[in-house]
Amino acid sequence: MISQKMTDAINDQVKAELESAYLYLSMSAYMEAKNLKGMAHWLKQQYKEETEHAEKFMAHLYDRGACVVLEAIAKPAAEFGTPLDVYKAVLKHERHVTDRIHKLMDLARDEKDYASQSMLTWFINEQVEEEASAGDVINKLEFLGDSKASMYLLDKELGQR
């Protein structure tokens, strides 16, 4: 049986994952408005992944006989600056999510909740990939500078995700 403390923490993470999804959807819309359709696509994929993450946390609660309680999520920003600014914000946000996942793991260990620890291991590994992916785009954007031709090619590349 999962503790109420762990249930509450995972429900809070469901909210955080849905807020992440909403943030990435807003970033995608912003990039679409800037006619950077490949970057918009990349961010839309992030949005989809975040909703899947929320569903994984919810499934864990269901499987453990706990209730899912959905809370209201905050309105995301609508303006994000340059593409480099956007991806720096993505990386900063992913690092925030990583910190949240680590705190959940700490709680699962304190609670001796081995089932949650097992589930959270997947998320820890996923966060390594998320941060690396955002960092890769940042490195490319920094390398490209203001080259419109290179930005066009990178936008096409990101649209292949």
For the stretch 143-157, pLDDT in tens is 988 888 888 999 999
- Sequence ranges of the domains in the chain: 4-158
Contact of 50 with 73, CB cutoff 8 Å: no
Alpha helices, H only, 69-147: 83-110, 114-144
Residue 151, helix vs strand vs coil:
helix
Residues with Cβ within 8 Å of residue 64, at least 6 apart in sequence = 1, 2, 7, 115
Which CATH superfamily groups domain 4-158? Answer: Ferritin, core subunit, four-helix bundle (1.20.1260.10)
pLDDT digits (tens, 9 = 90+) for 83-120: 999 999 999 999 999 999 999 999 999 999 999 999 99
pTM above 0.75, yes or no: yes
